[in-house]
Chain A
Amino acid sequence: MLAGQAPPGAAGCGRLLAAALRPLLCGLSPCWVAGRQCRGLRVAEAATEEAQVVQREHRGGVPVRRYIACPRLARTVQQCLQRGAGPQPLLLEFAPGPGILTQTLLNAGIRVVALESNLAYLPNLQSLENSLDGQLKVIYGDFCRLDPLVSGTLKPPAVCSEKLFETMGVAAVPWKADVPLRIFGIMPHTLERNRLWRLLFGLYECNSIYRYGRVELNLFISEKEYMVLRAKPGEVWAYQALSVLAQIGCEIELLHKEPWSSFATDLKNGSLAIPKSKWLPNDHLCLVRLTPQQNLFTGGLKPTNATTFIFMVKQCLAKPTSRLSARLNSWSLDNGGKLLKALEIPENAVMRDLYPEDYRRLFEALQNSSMFTETWFYDEVLETVRTINL
Chain B
Amino acid sequence: MALLRLRAALRGPGGLRGPGVPWSVLRSYSSASTKEKANRNSTCERTELLEVLKARAKQLQSSDAPEVTVNKVELAPLGNDKHQNPLQKAMASGPTQEQPVPRAGWCPDRPHSWVEMLHKETCIQQLKLERKLSMAASQLDLGSQAKAEAKPKAKIKAKAEAKAKAKTEAKAKAKAEAKPKAKAEAKPKAKATAKAKAEAKATAKAKAEAKAEAQIKAKGKPKAKPMKSLKTSKVPKVKAATAWSQSSTSPHSLYSHSKPRVVAVKEGVKLERPRRALKDKDSSQHKETIQSTLECFLFLQQPEQAERILMLCHRSPVKQKLLDVSAYNIVMRCWARKGCLQHIDQLFSVLESVGLRPSLDSYAAALQCMGRNQSSPEAIWRYLEQLKSDGFHVDELFQKCLFEEDEKEKILRAIRTVLPDYQLPPPPKPQTCKSALLQDFYSKEKVVSYPKLDFSVEELQERFQQQLEMELNNTITIESVEAAKPPTPQAVKARELLGTLRSQWHDAVLQALQKSKHSMVKARALSKYNMLYPYLCLLPDEEYVGIMLQVLNTLSPQGESLAVLARELSNKVYSRYVTHRKLRSHQLEKLQGVYEDYIHLLAKDSQPDQYLPREYWEKLVAEAGLGSSLTLKDCSWPYAVLMRLGMHMLELLVKAVTVPRNLLNPRLESKSIPVLYHIYSYQNMWQVGLIKPHPIFSQIVTDAAETTLTFHSSAMPMLCPPVPWTSPHFGAFVVNDTKLMRFVDGDVQHQLLLEQCPPVNLHPVLDALTQLGNCAWKINQPVLDIIISIFNDKGNEQLDIPPPLSEAPKPPTAPGHSSTWSKSLKRELLLCKKKAAEMHSLRMDALYKLSIANYVRDKVFWFPHNMDFRGRTYPCPPYFNHLGNDVTRAILLFAEGRPLGPRGLDWLKIHLINLTGLKKKNALQERLEYANEIMEEILDSADHPITGRKWWMNTDEPWQALACCMEIAKASRSPDPAAYISHFPVHQDGSCNGLQHYAALGRDLIGALSVNLMPCSVPQDVYSAVAQQVEEFRKKDAERGVKIAQVLQGFISRKVVKQTVMTVVYGVTRYGGRLQIEKRLKEIDDFPEEYLWEASHYLVRQVFNSIKEMFSATRDIQHWLTESAKLISQSGRTVEWVTPLGLPIVQPYYRFKSTVLNCGMQNLSVRTPSSSQKPDTVKQKNAFPPNFIHSLDSTHMMLTALHCFRQGLTFVSVHDCYWTHALTVDIMNQICRQQFVALHSEKILQDLSEFMLEKYCSPNTETIAAWQKKLMEQLSNVPRTGEFNLKQVMDSTYFFS
Contacts and interface: CB of A to CB of B under 8 A. Distances in A.
Interface stretch (B80-88, B479-487, B617-625, B1035-1043): B80-88
A318 interface: yes
Contact of A350 (B82, B668, B687, B823): B82
A142 to B, nearest CB: 18
Given A235-B250, A280-B249, A348 B106 contact: no
Contact of B820 (A304, A346, A356): A304
B945 to A, nearest CB: 41
A380 B679 CA distance: 9
A281 B249 contact: yes
A347 B1093 CA distance: 59
Contacts of A384: 679, 681-682
Contact of B106 (A194, A235, A374): A235
Contact of A376 (B80, B251, B677, B823): B677
Interface in A187-229: 193-194, 207, 223-224, 227-228
B106 A319 contact: no
A315 B690 CA distance: 12
B23 A279 contact: no
A132 to B, nearest CB: 33
B78 interface: yes
A378 B817 CA distance: 10
Given A330-B677, A355-B17, A383 B830 contact: yes
Contact of B83 (A279, A314, A346): A346
A237 B83 contact: no
A234 B112 CA distance: 12
Interface string A125-166: 000000000000000000000000101000000000000000
A305 interface: yes
A234 B824 contact: no
Given A278-B252, A281-B249, A330-B678, A231 B107 contact: yes
A353 B677 CA distance: 24
A379 B832 CA distance: 13
A314 B682 contact: yes
B705 to A, nearest CB: 22
B530 interface: no
Contacts of B250: 227, 235-238, 279-280
Nearest to A379: B695
Interface string B8-22: 000000001101101
Given A228-B251, A281-B249, A318 B80 contact: no
Interface string B1203-1235: 000000000000000000000000000000000
Interface in B814-858: 817-820, 823-824, 826-827, 829-830, 833
B607 to A, nearest CB: 66
Contacts of B830: 382-383, 386-387
Interface residues of A, number: 65
Given A280-B103, A332-B661, A234 B76 contact: yes
B500 interface: no
Given A279-B252, A304-B819, A315-B679, A238 B76 contact: no
A224 B661 contact: no
Contacts of B756: none
A388 to B, nearest CB: 5
Contacts of A253: none
Contact of A231 (B78, B106, B1163): B106
A232 B12 CA distance: 13
B253 A386 contact: no
Interface stretch (B40-48, B254-262, B470-478, B1178-1186): B254-262
B262 to A, nearest CB: 4
B27 interface: yes
A149 B824 CA distance: 10
Interface string A242-255: 00000000000000
B271 to A, nearest CB: 13
Contacts of B20: 357
A238 B109 CA distance: 11
Interface in B617-666: 654, 661
A320 interface: yes
B77 A350 contact: no
Given A151-B824, A344-B22, A233 B671 contact: no
Interface residues of B, number: 69
B78 A233 contact: yes
A332 B1097 CA distance: 55
Contacts of B680: 314-315, 318-319
Contacts of A319: 255, 257, 680, 1162-1163
Interface string A324-352: 00000011101000000000111111100
A193 B1093 CA distance: 29
A347 B106 CA distance: 29
Contact of B818 (A228, A234, A378): A378
Contact of A387 (B81, B255, B661, B682): B682
B103 A334 contact: no
A162 to B, nearest CB: 13
B270 to A, nearest CB: 11
Given A223-B251, A235-B108, 20 more contacts: A230-B106, A234-B76, A235-B250, A236-B110, A236-B250, A237-B252, A239-B107, A279-B250, A304-B817, A307-B819, A308-B819, A318-B680, A318-B687, A319-B680, A319-B1162, A344-B23, A346-B26, A373-B817, A380-B692, A382-B826
Q: Which 6 A-B pairs rank lowest in CB-CB distance, beginning with the nearest?
A: A234-B77, A279-B252, A235-B107, A348-B83, A227-B251, A237-B253
Interface of A: 59-60, 149, 151, 193-194, 207, 223-224, 227-228, 230-240, 277-281, 304-305, 307-308, 314-315, 318-320, 330-332, 334, 344-350, 353, 355-358, 373-376, 378-380, 382-384, 386-388
21 contacts: A60-B1093, A227-B249, A234-B78, A234-B110, A235-B250, A236-B109, A237-B260, A279-B250, A279-B252, A307-B819, A332-B674, A334-B672, A344-B24, A346-B83, A357-B20, A374-B668, A375-B673, A376-B695, A379-B695, A382-B830, A384-B681
